Amino acid sequence: MTAETHSKPASAAGPVRYSTVAIILHWLIAAALIFQVILGWRADDGPKGAETFALFQLHKSIGITILVLSVARLLWKLTHKSPPAPAGQPTWEKIAAHAVHVGFYVIMIGLPLTGWIIVSTSRINIPTILFGAIPWPHLPGLPELAAGAKDAWNNIGHLGHGLLVKFTYVLLALHLGAVAKHQILDRDEVFGHMAAGARPGLKEPRLWLAAAGFAAVVAAGYLYTPAKAKAPAAAPEQSAADELALPDETPAAAAPAATPAGPATAAPMAAAEATPPPADSALKDPVAWAVQKGSHLDFNLAWADTPIQGKFSRWTADILFSPEALDRSKLTVSIDLASAGTGDGQRDESLQGPDFFNTSANPKATFTATKFRKTAEGRFVADGTLDLRGVKKPLSLPFSLKIDGDTATARGVTTLDRTAFGVGQGEWASTDQIPAKIKVSFALTARKK
């Protein structure tokens, strides 16, 4: 009888724990938020390289996820009953608990919103693609603001984000302190509100599970390395390997009679050295050419109706080419995008920024061609792939060629659509200031290696 009268008022006052949906959302958001804070520290402190860029992409993705989950959780909370405070809890504690919980909703929604303001008003306009897959818009109205107003909003975003981060530390300390107090000193059911079935005291395994989960999330936040950051390092290795493969194959395939098949396949590099192509048939096999000084690679565009001439001062070309061996000819041009110069320091700096080449994430552009067509006497087209700013697209490069003994001169010009490669983000994606078509031309002199 006593037991019954005891339990009845408790259940009449409300449920003994949060609903399953509220509990799942609580732990999910808690884990995401702690991971997110560590990502924020790492992204903010890191060198402005590819890894930092990728960390920010993830920071934005998780932050927006937290926003969505928190709004869902708030709606759920407003429409479902929460468990009552433990019997006999002092009023100040009830008020404090309520204040901390409200504070949490403020940061859970305020942090992503201020972060969103920062990225929507940034001078260097970086689009947000959640988890690399879902395009997420900027906050409506902000990207279109005039420069002054935009900067003001950007400052508000930074200030707000920074203050809310500090507020989060305070809330978290109070929250965890309160959980410990309830669990260890008061020995009441509060932890059980959020961890179904938990009993008071230090022996409760769910408490240790929560502590281990906390440590695991912190460790994951520090250990996580974005896959994207590894890509630029791997790419040059890949192309170097491709280039090495070619001279190996050529003698083996083209001169089987001169070289015993066995050693050629077993030790292709040795075979290549042992059987230089005979001088008179030199042009029958693709020839390796070394680009000479004075060769240049240029680009032309219009910026607000002003024609602009630019050039890349650092680029390399690996050329294996003979008009008689078009099928085995090969060209790889590697362009150091940070070497782009248009005669205006400020403009060149913005060219390297995330709005244009984004050189920190994609330092190089490469054009690789393995198909060549002859279109007229001394005229050819290289059909290849341009890898620019992480986007690979087919590109045909027509060129004229004159070979005079050991020296070749070639000139070519093509146009490409910068928007297809994402060169020009945010306000620059529109083509009213800078048209989409960019003319790229080269003139080179090469000597037989």
Give residues in contact with ligand HEM (CB under 6 A).
22, 26, 29-30, 33-34, 36-37, 40-41, 44, 59-60, 63-64, 66, 77, 83, 97, 101, 104, 108, 111-112, 115-116, 118-119, 128, 158, 161-162, 165, 172, 175-176, 179, 190-191, 193-194, 210, 214
Measured from the CB of residue 156, what is the shortest distance to ligand HEM in angstroms? 11
Query: Between 111 and 246, whose beta carbon lies closer to ligand HEM?
Result: 111
Q: Nearer Cβ to ligand HEM, position 30 or 434?
A: 30
Nearer to ligand HEM (CB atom), residue 211 or residue 261: 211
Nearest-approach distance from CB 363 to ligand HEM, in angstroms: 23
Nearer to ligand HEM, 160 or 263 (CB): 160
CB of 18 to ligand HEM, least distance (A): 6
Task: Please write down the HEC assignment for all residues of 315-381.
Answer: EEEEEEECHHHHHHCEEEEEEEHHHEECCCHHHHHHHHCCCCCCCCCCCEEEEEEEEEEEEECCEEE
**Residue 26 CB, nearest approach to ligand HEM (Å):** 5
CB of 191 to ligand HEM, least distance (A): 5
To ligand HEM, the closest distance from the beta carbon of 12 in angstroms equals 18
> Smallest distance, Å, CB 48 to ligand HEM?
12
**How many Å apart are CA 233 and CA 49, to the nearest integer?**
12
Question: Residue 63 or 310: which CB sits closer to ligand HEM?
Answer: 63
Tell the smallest beta-carbon distance from residue 28 to ligand HEM (Å). 10
Tell which residue, 152, 60, 55, has the closest CA to residue 112.
60
CA distances from 48 to 4, 55, 61 (A): 65, 11, 19
Q: Which is nearer to ligand HEM, 103 or 251 (CB)?
A: 103
Smaller CB separation from ligand HEM, 206 or 311: 206
Q: How far is the CB of 372 from ligand HEM (least distance, A)?
A: 46
User: Residue 218 or 229: which CB sits closer to ligand HEM?
Assistant: 218
Measured from the CB atom, is 198 or 264 closer to ligand HEM? 198
